[in-house]
Structure 1
Amino acid sequence: MSEAEPSVTTAVSATADNVKAFVAGGFGGVCAVLVGHPFDLTKTRLQTAPSGTYTGAIDVVKKILVRDGVLGVYRGIVPPLLGVTPIFAVSFWAYDASKKLISALTKSDTLSTTQLAAAGFLSAVPSTAVTAPVERAKVLLQVQGQGLSEQKYKGVTGVLRHMYQEGGLRSVFRGSGATLARDGPGSAAYFAAYEVTKKALTPAGSSPSDLNLGSIICAGGVAGVAMWSLAIPPDVLKSRIQAAPKDTYSGILDCARKTIAQDGVAALWKGFGPAMARAFPANAATFLGSVATIYLQGIID
């Protein structure tokens, strides 16, 4: 056997692992959107509506149902459904690659919780390039028709055309800084909590990779709760920046200052209830979907 053969085999194996992480993350993301979108819509409307528009999450849902019917709770779902595969695929791929990078730098096969959190934070950097424009389109579709406002967009094509005509790529990527401010710490907590919970649920002498689906669902749900426990304030600012007319805010700090001045510090936690209600089931579905995909890939292989 030549010396080149082991390196070729290693490269092929690494590529296969990356592809599996990419596909698994994408399918897991679709599951998360289908389960969690009504909660996300409620959260976004609470975050962006003028003070006094709603009395709470239940009032948001009630008004959506009265105005738009049952399908109204899925308003704005097309952008995240179209974008969720690349978003989650890039996130899971970047997390897997970041773990390998940190492992190589530390020359350790077992990463600490802090190192896992660092890998999670790094995973948010490339995924923000996909997440920010998808979230911008989603938010604009979710908030239109809120209160007595007109419905400007008739679908994804309309909202994308509006964003680009408003200010080119700068408009399309509005809120990228706030998106990273949310997803960096959020992803750190997300992946670290998932790994720690899996380890805690693993019986002595067993491997976390052998956990049953019930444990995977639990770990995924805990990961979602951990993420959104940190992510709400930057998520509020992201939603406001992305929903507001051009030049309303000069950046995330200006948005924070104006939000606090107008509505008080408590405004930074608007939508906390729906976000936490969504966190466990949506993220349990994410990891369940990703693990099921990897399992099916193993059968096919």
Structure 2
Amino acid sequence: MHLADFIAGSVGGAFGVAVGYPLDTVKVRIQTQTKFSGVLQCVRATCRTEGVSGFYKGMAMPLTTVSIGSSVLFGTYRNILHSLRQLRHKAPDSPSAKLDIFLAGLAGGVAQVLVMSPADIVKVRLQCQMESYQGSDPRATFKYRGAVHCLFTIAREEGILGLYKGAGALALRDGPSFATYFLVYNTVCDWLSPGKQGQAEWKVVLFAGGLSGMCGWCVGTPMDVIKARLQLDGVGRRRYRGFVHCVAESVRTEGPAVLFKGLGLNCVRAFPVNMSVFATYELVIRCLQTAS
């Protein structure tokens, strides 16, 4: 087991959440609420009604769980890649085949869903809990008082399986998107570091990390939209009977473009976030290697 990858992935994931959370809140609200016509309108409305703190709603739990999820993601990816390389080449230091990188990324993305799904539904519901949900009574309070209260409320009202609402769409998002993510990162590092063995330069790490995040979201955004809508369904009235009905109804009422709602924002957010994730990941890995 490559334990260093679990540790480095954990630190990198937490840092990435802190960098990208405000734009993630805007993205989720645009994907799930039709009253917002665009990014700027959503940002202005959030600032006006909730202040800056509105952009950080529900961050406490993702900060903890994304750290764990990223640990699972990077640790699973690196260990499966190591195993595939040994099966293919019978040597742990042989170069990795692109197919092996893709498959290891796919496995890592799916593996983290078990950890991420409960935290993700809490995040989405808190992000979309806005003033408009209170109705006309100014004395009314929000349904969820915080991350822990939201978690237990969902479990009590919808059962433990309610915490995994939209998990299928989440797996269909994270599997292919992280397969693309790691494949692009490794490919770009190879292109920009021709003939070099071992660690890439920092400028290459930053650029490859940012670009891989953007490419990953290009693949994952359609399922991200469906995932968010399924997770929010039932808070108020129920609109969707399941995954297929959610896809069909969303496309029927809003057109095929709805599946790419928030794509531009995802890409804008992905570059600095994943630049930070990979830079932190590589820094921790190199520090641990030096210490050992």
TM-score, scaled to structure 1: 0.89
Equivalent position to 1:240, from 216, 229, 233: 229
State the Cα distance separating 1:295 from its structure 2 match: 2.1
1:229 paired to 2:218: yes
Residue 137 of structure 1, CA deviation: 0.7
- 1:157 aligns to what? 148
Letter in 2 for 1:220: G
CA offsets per residue over residues 40-95 of structure 1, 9 Å max, x none?
Answer: 11110000002xx1121111111111111122211121121010111000000110
Q: CA–CA distance in 2 between the matches of 1:192 and 1:70?
A: 36
Per-residue deviation at 1:202? 0.6
String of CA shifts for 1:270-291, please: whole Å, max 9, x gaps.
Answer: 1112101111100000001111
Name the residue aligned to 1:93.
Answer: 75
Paired letter, 1:58: L
Q: Does 2:124 match 1:132? A: no
* Residues 57 and 273 in structure 1, CA contact (< 8 A), matched pair in contact too: no
1:107 lines up with 2:92 in the alignment: no
Please tell me whether residue 277 in structure 1 is matched to residue 268 in structure 2: yes
CA distance in 2: counterparts of 1:133 and 1:210, whole angstroms = 36
Q: CA offsets, 1:166-201, max 9 Å, x none?
A: 222110111110000000110110000010011111
Question: Are 2:226 and 2:246, in contact at CA under 8 Å, matched by a contact in 1?
Answer: yes
Shifted more, 107-116 versus 148-157: the winner is 107-116
Q: Which amino acid aligns with 1:259?
A: S
Q: 10, 13, 22: which one pairs with 2:6?
A: 22
- Which is further off, 263-272 or 184-193? 263-272
TM-score normalised over the length of structure 2: 0.92
The aligned residue for residue 6 of structure 1 is none
**2:32 aligns to what?**
48
Once the two structures are TM-superposed, the CA of residue 263 in structure 1 deviates from its matched residue by 1.5
- Aligned position for 2:181: 190
Cα distance in 2 for partners of 1:88, 1:99 equals: 16
Cα distance in structure 2, aligned partners of 1:225 and 1:232: 10
- Give the aligned residue type for 1:86: I
Check conservation: 1:79, 1:156, Cα contact below 8 A. Answer: yes
Q: CA RMSD in A?
A: 1.5
- Provide the C-alpha distance between the structure 2 equivalents of 1:144 and 1:157, rounded to a whole number of angstroms: 15
Question: C-alpha displacement at 1:244, in angstroms?
Answer: 1.1
Name the CA distance, whole Å, in 1 between partners of 2:98 and 2:242. Answer: 32
Displacement, 1:210?
Answer: 2.7
Deviating more after overlay: 98-107 vs 136-145: 98-107
- What is the total number of aligned residue pairs between the two structures? 280
Q: CA deviation at 1:142?
A: 0.4
Aligned partners of 1:132 and 1:194: how far apart in 2?
A: 25
Deviation at 1:101, TM superposition (A): 2.5
Shift of 1:121: 0.5
2:118–2:151 contact (8 Å) kept in structure 1: no
Q: CA deviation at 1:238?
A: 0.2
Q: CA deviation at 1:107?
A: 2.9
Residue 123 of structure 1: how far off its partner (Å): 1.1
Say if 2:57 is the partner of 1:69.
no
| SS of equivalent to 1:20 | helix
Partners of 1:49 and 1:55 lie apart in 2 by 9
1:140 aligned counterpart, secondary structure: helix
Post-superposition shift, 1:162? Answer: 1.3
Contact kept in structure 1, 2:26 and 2:42, CA below 8 Å: yes
SS at match of 1:210: coil
> 1:235 is matched by which residue type in structure 2?
D
In the TM superposition, what is the alpha-carbon distance from 1:249 to its structure 2 partner? 2.7
In structure 1, what is the Cα distance between the partners aligned to 2:105 and 2:249?
31
The one-letter code of the counterpart of 2:226 is L
State, as a whole percentage, how many aligned pairs show the same letter: 30
3-state SS of the aligned residue for 2:130?
A: coil
Structure 1: which 4+ aligned runs deviate by more than 4 Å?
none
Residue among 33, 38, 51 paired with 2:17: 33
Residue deviations 1:190-232 (CA, integer Å, cap 9, x gap): 000010011111143x22x332221111111111011001111
- Say which is worse superposed, 187-196 or 151-160, in terms of deviation: 151-160
In structure 2, list runs of 5 or more residues that go unmatched: 135-141
